[in-house]
Amino acid sequence: MATSANSDDDLLRGHADALAAGIVAAIAPWVESSVARIADAWRPGLADDLRAAAADAGRRAVAEVGPAVRELLATDVDAQRTGPLAVLRDAVRYPTEVLAAAGVPGVVRDGFAEHAFPADVYDLAPAAFADLDPDLRDLGLTWGAAKAHVVLSRRRAEGLR
C-alpha cells in the first residue's frame, strides 16, 4: 500500500507542478487582458494608453502571486488551507490598481459577487482556472481529481487502522 500511496503522491505532485507552471505563465496575460477589456469597454482606445501600466502590473503579479501559487501547490494536500483559485482571486488587485488609477469606474455586479469579493470592483475574480486561461481547464481538473484521489485514499487508509 505504501508504494501505491507514494506513487499517487508523486502523480499529484506532477499535476500540481504542471498546474502551477500553467498558472504562472497565464498571470501576466490575464492581468493585461483584464485591463484591456474593462478599459476599452469604458472608453474605447483607453487600453492602448494603459498597455505599459498593465504590463508592469502583470510582471508584479507574476513576481508576487506566482511564488504563492507554487508554494501552495507544493504543500501536502493535508496541510493546504486554501486553494489556488483563492490565491488567484486575490490577484485582481493588479488589474484593479491600473484601472482605478485611470479613473475607470467599477462595474455593476450581482449581490453575491459584491458580498463575496468586495475588492473586486471590476468583476475580474476567476471562478475557474479556465477564466485565467482556457488551457488551464484540463490541468485544473486533472490536479483536482488527483488531489481528491489522494485525500480519499488517505482517509480510507486511516479508517483501516
Task: Write out pLDDT tens, residues 43-67.
Answer: 999 999 999 999 999 999 999 999 9
Q: 84-98 b/e with 16+ CB inside 10 Å = b?
A: bbebbbbbbbbbbbb
The pLDDT, as a whole number, for residue 6 is: 75
Coil, strand, or helix at residue 96? helix
Q: What is the mean pLDDT of residues 152-158?
A: 89
Single-letter amino acid, residue 73: L
What's the whole-number average pLDDT of the chain? Answer: 94
Taking the C-alpha atoms of 44, 47, 48 and 53 in order, what is their torsion angle to the nearest 10 degrees?
160
pTM: 0.90
- By residue range, what is the domain housing residue 48? 2-160
- Tell me how many domains the chain contains: 1
